[in-house]
Amino acid sequence: MTQLDFIYNRKSIRQFQKQGVPRTGILAMIQAATYAPSPKHQQNWHFVVLQNREKIQELARIVYDSHKEIGRLAKNEQDFKRHMSVINYYTSFKYAPVVILVYGCEYKMIEYKIMQENNASQEILNMLMSPQSAAQAIGAAVENFLLAASELGYGTCYMTGPTHAKIKIEAAIDFAKPGYELMSMISLGVAADNTPPQPSRKPLETTVTFLDE
């Protein structure tokens, strides 16, 4: 065992056992999520916990139908097949006893306000927004959640694909928080036996550059 096993043991889980997850465990994972770094400490996240099996199935149908609608717009067979090849991944949360819907709000950037009030070009304004700070904060919080879940013995899968149906998803769960929108979803539960192994990672030499050598 190494001190980093809690990271290396995490993998995406898309098949789950039927047993649920106690509220205390869910809250512990969410609390861990809220300890993630966020730009200017704005903590622009909100977590909606869904455990109703019928509602989870309904959301999966919504995503499935939305995915097919988009697929019908493809201009060629290659794009259609590529798009449809991931439909089972986008709807795999239907097997989970718990789904966490992660909402986020706008990141308030003072730099943007200052530059906009000084008639900065749209190119400069776009450059300021390009790091997508709001999304980065959500991603950091989700990663904390995933690692906490793994450490507590649960399986998870982090998904942004289903959000192409976010408007219908938000309406279906009848949840609204002013200024917030659905950013991602996490399926959560006890992993089924014999789940697929972790996929390999790119070699470090292809992903790291040292500038001081």
Assess if residue 123 is contained within a domain: no
List the strands of the sheet with 45-50, edge to edge.
45-50, 98-105, 180-189, 155-159
Assess if residue 124 is contained within a domain: no
Assess if residue 45 is contained within a domain: yes
Assess if residue 187 is contained within a domain: yes
Contact 88, 94 (CB under 8 A): no
Q: What angle is formed at CA 40 by the lines to CA 184 and CA 178, rounded to 5 degrees?
A: 50
Tell me what pLDDT residue 212 has. 87
Contact 99, 59 (CB under 8 A): yes
Tell me what pLDDT residue 83 has. 97
Report the number of distinct structural domains present in the chain.
Answer: 1
Assess if residue 121 is contained within a domain: no
Tell me what pLDDT residue 138 has. 97
- Quote the mean pLDDT of the chain: 95
Please tell me the distance from the alpha carbon of residue 190 to that of residue 16, in angstroms, as a whole number. Answer: 6
Tell me what pLDDT residue 2 has. 73
Residue 60 lies in domain: 5-106+132-206
- Using one digit for the tens of pLDDT, what is the confidence trace for 22-48? 999 999 999 999 999 999 999 999 999
Using pLDDT thresholds of 50, 70 and 90, give the confidence band for residue 3: confident
CATH code at position 152: 3.40.109.10
Assess if residue 171 is contained within a domain: yes
Assess if residue 127 is contained within a domain: no
Using pLDDT thresholds of 50, 70 and 90, give the confidence band for residue 213: low
Q: Is the pLDDT at 1 greater than 60, yes or no?
A: no
Using pLDDT thresholds of 50, 70 and 90, give the confidence band for residue 207: very high
- Using one digit for the tens of pLDDT, what is the confidence trace for 151-189? 999 999 999 999 999 999 999 999 999 999 999 999 999
Assess if residue 212 is contained within a domain: no
Tell me what pLDDT residue 17 has. 97
